Structure 1
């Protein structure tokens, strides 16, 4: 592993991704396997004025043991009140949140889907206040990934564990613009390029997007007339610019909740809470998921769709061209943070209020009235292919090519 790149990666995350402010608290959620990197990020944060850095450690192997061995089944319906208050208190104090997402994509294989579903639901109910604040950009947040042994071996199965981790680090450094010289300049240039496409999509203000490819996707998505396209960076209410995902290649908006019709076919596997869902399709009618299939992970897909009423609808529409750094790496990461930024994708569940004009100031009732979906979950799944065509249809019926052969026309 290149130590200079590692430090540069941590600095970009803290200084550009989080954009830590003087006297601000940073909460870092991290797998215990990634402790060394989390400590490096903490050190950089302190050196750049952080008031405090709070660590929230996670151990997915301990979670697996609990799922398999717990004798009291009702424990999976519970979420500790102290944990809820922990996040609520830091949100209310204006803390920034860094999430290190590095999951073994098959660690929950053989675990009860019912236990996972109930546990996920209980946790998401407990963290609803926290998640709503972040999805509304009321606090600065950033999600990144760091290699773990099991994840690296899934991505690079034909080499030793050590070589797999090294290869995954090299891939991460490449697709996050760390190994190409001035990383800060590269990220600033990338933000500008993304914002140009955001401006184009907002000027068109399409009423519909129509998706078609040879895999079987034939989907028509109605867009909210007040929808805003966003991408590359966000701003907190105090005006702090941050990047919520590193890497990020997408521009995104919200659909009209009841305006999605047709069938969409996945283009990459989805890691959903430690289980892979592969080769799946979803059919919509008047916005609602009415049918779904999967060659692998059907029960996991069912758990996702049936989590609550809102999980039967879409909350996000995101465009990523096929000719992009992660896609061009030809690596299947089995990690949504990376795979979603190699492919056009949709998200089941909650919509981002910021994708609606004035949405950040609307109540939940107002957002519901405007057709912005609400849910306990928000899960991206990949649909982009090399031959994907997307056509925008304006309010007056004009058809405009947006994607041809997997890439932006503009």
Structure 2
């Protein structure tokens, strides 16, 4: 583990600013077993801050691989009722949720992608209510990360294991501003900076965004009326402020489901459920993926796109300057939590209802009518480059530069 003082500051930031734990609230932590010491530190801080109780759900990714390789096929289409009850009972109770995302990027490269796809789909169906509550900001939630041995060696392959872990700790501490004298104050300023970008975009209410770069991206995305750009912190339906991702450098909104046309090319590998998808492209027509390519992970990408009807459509549009702290570090994390905050990105699958006016209070049918995509999945992939240009087109047809040479043009 790294410096004890920095770890305490990180845990303090996650509990008090990330999920903003309330007096008497329950905190649920999802953690790999390798991250147990830090999960316990978070738990201690939560109790000291006023949490009624803390519950930790452990994940053993090495056992997961054993199960994928050796269990009979039928188990991958089953989801235990007790496990579903765990999620739904705590989310209905109003618990806060912290997820520690730290996995081996290539853990499941030797596993049949059909099995991984079945597990993902089965769990997403079973946990639909839980996921919808979080994506509608009914509960506070925060995704964070700390190094694990396998992940650190993937990021820093030329260093020894100890050196790689140390280097990853240092990189993470920098991205989440824990090294600042007052991390909370640093985050307050960061949130204000992101709100400025979101305000510019909200004021213009662009009807279209047009993307172009030298990788071959040439894509037009239509945005629905009354869409909302968010960034930095968010608020629950009860008005509690929280930060869903630490780190975060993005401002984001939702696209109109049928509004994407053209081709988009990935700028970074995508770590999806223990498999890497590399150098891939997606071609859209009337919002739907009609063609795709991948130099590595084609079958995994195919299974992802074919998860359900909505997984072939976009659910998120996010803007991140190329000249931003995580991008400037020139570290490829193979972890979407970090890589998506170094690059403009899109997501296929479910859209966030909070990104459209009054969306959090609308029924599924009402959201459908407004062009808000629904799916069992939501997967971000990175498309930002040093030469990315984005033009915003207003409803009156006026063209305004949004990105030039990879950065905001305003």
TM-score by length of 1: 0.99
Q: Could you tell me how far apart the structure 2 residues matched to 1:45 and 1:163 are? A: 31
User: Quick one: distance in 2 between partners of 1:228 and 1:235?
Assistant: 13
2:128 match: 128
- Could you say which residue in structure 1 is the equivalent of 2:383? 383
What is the 5 A alignment of 1:63-78? 63-70=64-71, 72-78=72-78
Match of 2:47 in 1: 46
Residue matched to 1:210: 210
Match of 1:108? 108
Quote how far apart the aligned CAs of 1:198 are: 0.8
Q: Distance in 1 between matches of 2:199 and 2:73?
A: 51
Is it true that 1:144 corresponds to 2:144 in the alignment? yes
TM alignment of 1:79-118, pairs within 5 A: 79-118=79-118
Q: Work out the CA distance in 2 between the residues paired with 1:294 and 1:318.
A: 22
Structure 1 residues not aligned, in runs of 5+: none
SS for the counterpart of 2:206 is: coil
Per the alignment, residue 37 of structure 2 pairs with: 36
**C-alpha displacement of 1:239:** 1.1
Shift of the alpha carbon at 1:42? Answer: 0.3
User: 1:237 deviation in Å?
Assistant: 1.7
Q: CA deviation at 1:354?
A: 0.2
How far apart in 2 are the matches of 1:81 and 1:20? 28
Alignment of 1:162-241 (within 5 A): 162-241=162-241
1:7 Cα offset (Å): 1.2
| 1:260-292 superposed Cα distances (whole Å, 9 cap, x missing partner) | 000000000000000000000000000000000
User: Which SS does the other structure have where 1:318 is aligned?
Assistant: strand
Residues 115-173 of structure 1: per-residue CA shift (max 9 Å, x gap): 11111100110111000000000000000011000000000001111110000000001
Equivalent position of 2:28 in the other structure: 27
Give the Cα–Cα distance (whole angstroms) in 2 for the partners of residues 262 and 154 of structure 1: 33
Unaligned runs of 5+ in 2: none
User: How many angstroms apart in 2 are the aligned matches of 1:35 and 1:157?
Assistant: 24
Number of the residue aligned with 1:266: 266
How far apart in 1 are the matches of 2:265 and 2:255? 18
Shift of 1:82: 1.1
User: What is the CA-CA distance between 1:360 and the residue it aligns to?
Assistant: 0.3
Alignment of 1:287-366 (within 5 A): 287-366=287-366
Is the aligned partner of 1:59 residue 2:45? Answer: no
- Report the alpha carbon displacement of residue 3 of structure 1 after superposing the two structures with TM: 2.0
How does the TM-score come out when normalised to structure 2?
Answer: 0.99
1:343-398 per-position Cα deviation (integer Å, ceiling 9, x unaligned): 00000000000001010000111111111000000000000000000000000000
CA distance in 2, matches of 1:237, 1:46: 24
1:9-35: CA deviation from partner (whole Å, max 9, x where unpaired): 111111100111000000000000000
- Give secondary structure in 1 for the equivalent of 2:215: coil
Show structure 1 runs of 4+ deviating over 3 A: none
Secondary structure of residue in 1 paired with 2:258: strand
Aligned residues: 409
Cα deviation for residue 178 of structure 1 reads 1.1
Question: What's the RMSD between the two structures over aligned residues?
Answer: 0.6
Query: Offset at 1:196?
Result: 1.0
